Amino acid sequence: MPFKYDFRKRRNTFRKVMGLLSKTKAKMMIETGTSREGLKGAKSNGAATIVFGKWASENAAFLHSVDINEKSVANAQTEVDKQKLNEWVKIHESDSVAFLDAFADKVDFLYLDSYDYSSNVEVQKKSQEHHLKEFKAIENKLHDKSIVLIDDCDLPNGGKGKLVIAYMLENGWRIEEEAYQVLLVREDFPY
C-alpha cells in the first residue's frame, strides 16, 4: 500500500491483524460497515475494505463487506472496481445483523465497524448495542483461530466496542491488542 495512505491510529493494529491472518491462513473474512470513502478514507474511516481486500487478493482469501447505506455501498464498489479486487471482495447492501445472522460459513476474521459512534450519548449506546448484536449474530460461526477486530474503541464512554468486548471477555475471548482498535482472539489462540 503506497505510503501516502497513512493509516495513522489504525496502522499498527491493521499490520498486527494481517500478520495473524497469515499465520492462521485465514480464508473467510467479514467487515461490517464498508469503505464509504474508498481509499481516500484511509486517515478517517480506515479504508479497511481495500486493506483487507488487497490482503485477500494476495492470500487466496475472500472478504464480504456489508453496509446498510446505498451510497456507502456504491462508493466502496467504485474503489473495489478501481483496485481490481472484485474476485476477492463482495460488497453487500444489508443491515449487518441480518447479514451476519444468515451467513452460513465459518468466519476466520471479523471486523466490526458499522453503526457510527458520535458525541451524543444515546447514539453511543445504540452503536454499542448494535456491535454487540453483530457479534452475537455470528458468534456460532467463529472458531478457535478466528480473529476479531473492533474499530473506534478508544473514544469517550468506551467507543463501539464497550459492550461487545465485555461480552467476549466473559465468553472465552481475550484481548490481544488494545489501542484505538481492539483485537481479540480466543483464550487458547495458538499464535
Binding site for ligand SAM (CB under 6 A): 31-36, 41, 45-49, 66-69, 72, 95-96, 113-116, 130
Under 8 Å between Cβ of 68 and 148: no
- Least distance in angstroms from the C-beta of 72 to ligand SAM: 3
**Residue 54 or 189 with smaller CB distance to ligand SAM:** 54
- φ/ψ of residue 102, rounded to 5: -90, -5
Under 8 Å between Cβ of 188 and 176: no
- Least distance in angstroms from the C-beta of 178 to ligand SAM: 19
Please give the Cα distance from 117 to 113 (Å, whole number). 10
Under 8 Å between Cβ of 109 and 146: yes
Query: Within 10 A of 153 (CB to CB), how many other CB atoms are there?
Result: 23
- Least distance in angstroms from the C-beta of 5 to ligand SAM: 12
**Residue 46 or 161 with smaller CB distance to ligand SAM:** 46
Q: Scan for cell 486493506, then name that residue.
A: 51
- Least distance in angstroms from the C-beta of 3 to ligand SAM: 18
**Residue 33 or 161 with smaller CB distance to ligand SAM:** 33
- Least distance in angstroms from the C-beta of 75 to ligand SAM: 9
**Residue 31 or 108 with smaller CB distance to ligand SAM:** 31
Q: Is the dihedral of CA 110, 21, 167, 111 positive or negative?
A: negative
**Residue 41 or 161 with smaller CB distance to ligand SAM:** 41
Cα dihedral 20→99→50→12 (10° resolution) = -40
**Residue 6 or 187 with smaller CB distance to ligand SAM:** 6
C-alpha cell at position 126 = 445504540
Q: Strand 147-150 to strand 182-186: parallel, antiparallel, or no bridges (unpaired)?
A: antiparallel
- Least distance in angstroms from the C-beta of 44 to ligand SAM: 8
